[in-house]
Chain A
Amino acid sequence: MDENKTLVKVRDLKFARGGRMIFDGVDLDIQRGKITVIMGPSGTGKTTLLRLIGRQLKPLEGSIIVDGEEVTTLGHRQLYELRKRMGMLFQNGALLTDLSVFENVAYPIREHTNLSDELIRTLVLMKLQAVGLRGARDLMPAELSGGMARRVALARAIALDPMMIMYDEPFTGQDPISMGVLVRLIRNLNDALGLTSVVVSHDIEEASSIADYIYLLSGGKVVAHGTTEDLANSDSEWAQQFMNGKPDGPVPFHYQAPPYAADLKID
């Protein structure tokens, strides 16, 4: 029963970059149909985690199972088949700059199906309607605001009706209104389309308002996890520090450094 409910299963994940361990034994379970938020201070490799799940990066060790398939050992073709069922929303939208909004959303449909132009038009307009940008279809990406670009990218991510969407920092650098729009969109799309959502964020308020389940990452490990209430009421120092935004605690204020006195050469 548990197997069926878990869409993404990460076990003992290890990953290093530039000689530094980013992940040192991470275990995660992402439930189907739920919004799972992965939080943690900047630089803990949250985005890296999404890239590992999408196999844009290969882990040092450990296993990542998505929808029953071991991502780390998939062949090129199977990987691309799997990716068709995944959507990813990049931090800045990552729209193709030489295509209009309409063509951007149509892009994955055109690449992977042989649908007629008319049908593609209908599909694209439906997706754009879902994010409220049907009127912006003829604009070029350069003419969009950051929030609009993310919504277009979201329409593109759901163009092929994937089973899951990964959101990379969707709230960063947004004004309160577009932040609210995005929060509502993520929730609505998740529920209406029966998606599984993975949101990487460090905006506690927005993230916890939509989260069904939260993982807190720090120092390459999962330091706390649970529902929003669990974490808010948790007596874990990690959870307390992060949820309440305390400057110092288990997440140190100082970046790893030799002792202060020794560094200043004071004997």
Chain B
Amino acid sequence: MINQIQSLGHKGLDFFQRLGRAHILIVDILKGLPVLLLRPGLIVQQIFSVGVLSLIIIVVSGFFVGMVMGLQGYNTLVDFGAEESLGVMVALSLVRELGPVVTALLFAGRAGSALTAEIGLMKATEQLSAMEMMAVDPVQRVLAPRFLAGFISMPLLAAMFSAVGVLGGFFVGVGLLGVDDGAYWSQMQSSVDIYDDIYNGVIKSLVFGFVVTWIAVFEGYDAIPTSEGVSRATTRTVVHSSLAVLGLDFILTALMFN
């Protein structure tokens, strides 16, 4: 009994220790960002592997999600004779929710896990230690560019997701189901607000970008340097960042749209 309480206490302390380490790490990373601006080449390289390589999955999923929204929305709206509002429904759901959230989830699976695995393996093969001994700070040289690249890429990816999704909805709604072309766009324009919807959606995806890359980078850096440790860290990245995204989405939505 005492042992169980003790181990519970230990786990609690471990949790707070990790939380503390994660925050110390993010502070170190943020401190490294100004230096990084002198070397844009590093960021470009990372945007390539974090952003560009996630492009296909994001664009394809965005298109399909938009098509599904078009189909589902049409079937629901047509019962009320309101199928002209299809554009509004597709655009609002994409810009406010699906764009930022689904992009963040896909990003966590595609880029976040890759980041964790890469950094974890660099740690396991002592590459990070070697850098330290070469007087190169791995937090600034390896983690900070990856973090910044994720932070920059996420809103761009989310915007593309939403934009492609709106086109997907257009393709199904207007192209296949015969909703009026003009109504699709004009109703959308009169109901989607630049500040309330688009701007807030971008803020959401910035927050998600920050959190997902933070988790990914931290899990990699904090991984136990064995193959098992790295694989567990990768799993944790996907699980934790998905949960964080969905939880934060609720909080942000409550703050923004009330």
Residues of A within 8 A of B (CB): 51, 54, 56, 80-81, 83-84, 86-88, 90-92, 94-97, 107-108, 111-112, 153, 156, 160
Q: Is the CB of B136 within 8 A of A96?
A: no
B126 touches which of A83, A91, A112, A156 (Cβ 8 Å): A91
Across the A-B interface, give the 7 residue pairs with the lowest CB-CB distance, nearest first. A94-B130, A94-B126, A83-B135, A88-B133, A84-B135, A108-B134, A80-B135
Instruction: Check if A56 sits within 8 Å of B132, measured CB to CB.
Output: yes
Across the interface, B127 reaches (CB within 8 A) one of A56, A95, A160, namely A95
**Chain A CB within 8 A of B180 CB:** no
Q: Which residues of A contact B133 (CB under 8 A)?
A: 54, 56, 83, 86-88
Contact across chains for A97 and B127 when beta carbons are under 8 A apart: yes
Q: Are A56 and B134 in contact (CB under 8 A)?
A: no
Taking A90-B126, A97-B125 as contacts, is the C-beta distance between A107 and B132 under 8 angstroms?
no
Cross-interface CB contact of B135 among A92, A112, A153, cutoff 8 Å: A112
Which B residues are within 8 Å of any A CB, using their own CB?
A: 122, 125-127, 129-137, 141
8 Å CB contact of B134 from A51, A83, A91:
A83
Tally A-B pairs: CB < 8 A: 52
Q: Is the interface of B mostly helix, strand, loop or mixed?
A: helix
Instruction: Report the Cα distance A51→B126, complex, angstroms.
Output: 12
Contact across chains for B129 and A83 when beta carbons are under 8 A apart? no
Asked if residues B135 and A81 are in contact (CB atoms below 8 Å), the reply is yes
* CB atoms of A90 and B130 under 8 A apart: yes
Which residues on B sit within 8 Å (CB–CB) of A88?
130, 133
B125 touches A111 (CB 8 A): no
Task: Determine which of B125, B134, B141 lies in contact with A92 in the assembled complex, contact meaning CB atoms within 8 Å.
Answer: B125
Query: Do the beta carbons of A94 and B125 come within 8 Å of each other?
Result: yes
Known interface pairs A80-B137, A83-B134; A96-B127 also in contact (CB < 8 Å): yes
Q: Point out the residue from B122, B129, B136, B141 that lies within 8 Å of A90, measured CB to CB.
A: B129
Tell me the complex Cα distance, A54–B135, Å: 10
Q: Kindly identify which residue among A83, A87, A96 contacts B132, using a CB–CB cutoff of 8 Å.
A: A83
CB distance from B157 to the nearest CB of A (A): 23
Supposing A56-B132, A83-B132 touch, asked if A92 and B137 sit within 8 A by C-beta, the answer is no
Which residue from chain B places its CB closest to the CB of A110 in the assembled complex? B136
Nearest neighbor of A96 in chain B, beta-carbon distance = B127
Contacts of A56 in B (CB 8 A): 129, 132-133
What are 9 of the A-B contact pairs (CB < 8 Å)? Answer: A54-B133, A83-B132, A83-B134, A94-B130, A96-B122, A96-B131, A97-B125, A111-B134, A111-B136
Residue in B126, B131, B133 with the greatest tally of chain A CB atoms within 10 Å: B133
Q: Return the contact of A94 from the options B129, B135, B136, B137 (Cβ within 8 A).
A: B129
- In the docked arrangement, what's the CA distance between A96 and B142, Å? 11
CA distance A92 to B122 in the complex (A): 12
Return A99 CB to nearest CB of chain B, in Å. Answer: 10
